[in-house]
A and B are shown apart, each in its own frame.
Chain A
Amino acid sequence: DAGVIQSPRHEVTEMGQEVTLRCKPISGHNSLFWYRQTMMRGLELLIYFNNNVPIDDSGMPEDRFSAKMPNASFSTLKIQPSEPRDSAVYFCASTASATNTGELFFGEGSRLTVL
């Protein structure tokens, strides 16, 4: 079975550029989560969607960050303009909310480096 698929796996960009990270959740999962992982702050929940609707975006650090989920099989996390402090690994995760157990299935992450 295909797991959560993220792209790109690695992204190196210059400060001020727009960055778009992509995620395809596991088929049948209706909840999707975006996390950011850094050495200093660990895993941080940025935003999560339920049935394609953003439920809680309180973790989004600032207006430079935006996320969309136009359909059940695709989500994007966009940073515009990017800054060096955005360098991190960004994880997408999905789950079937009907079971409501808190168990998440993670993608392999997108490592972002902003120079």
Chain B
Amino acid sequence: AQSVTQPDIHITVSEGASLELRCNYSYGATPYLFWYVQSPGQGLQLLLKYFSGDTLVQGIKGFEAEFKRSQSSFNLRKPSVHWSDAAEYFCAVYSGGGADGLTFGKGTHLIIQP
């Protein structure tokens, strides 16, 4: 079975600084990979996804993520964060075969300092 690890429970970044959120997955083949964002009191919204092809994918709100097969990673990045980026971020991996093929990480809580 696949698994997803988000090693950072909380991250604090100053407004305007760059951001990198880590995600490592465990799966034998190349999975489909996702990053979701959850703003306070809201549901999860898809930021970006990787299925195949270019390993650097662009998402909404200025986010990007890079798939690195050799490191089994799919880290999320943003060059300059805004206060509105404060939220919970979830990495997810899908290995196919139905809902049990979708696994979410525990999430990383992003705090933005003024």
Contacts and interface: CB of A to CB of B under 8 A. Distances in A.
Interface stretch (B13-21, B38-46, B55-63, B68-76): B38-46
B102 interface: yes
Given A43-B104, A56-B98, A103 B49 contact: yes
Contacts, number: 56
B99 A31 contact: yes
Interface residues of B, number: 23
Interface of B: 32, 34, 36, 41-46, 49, 51, 90, 92, 94, 96, 98-102, 104, 106-107
18 contacts: A31-B99, A33-B99, A43-B90, A45-B99, A48-B99, A50-B98, A55-B99, A56-B100, A91-B43, A91-B44, A93-B43, A102-B92, A102-B102, A104-B102, A106-B36, A106-B43, A107-B43, A109-B43
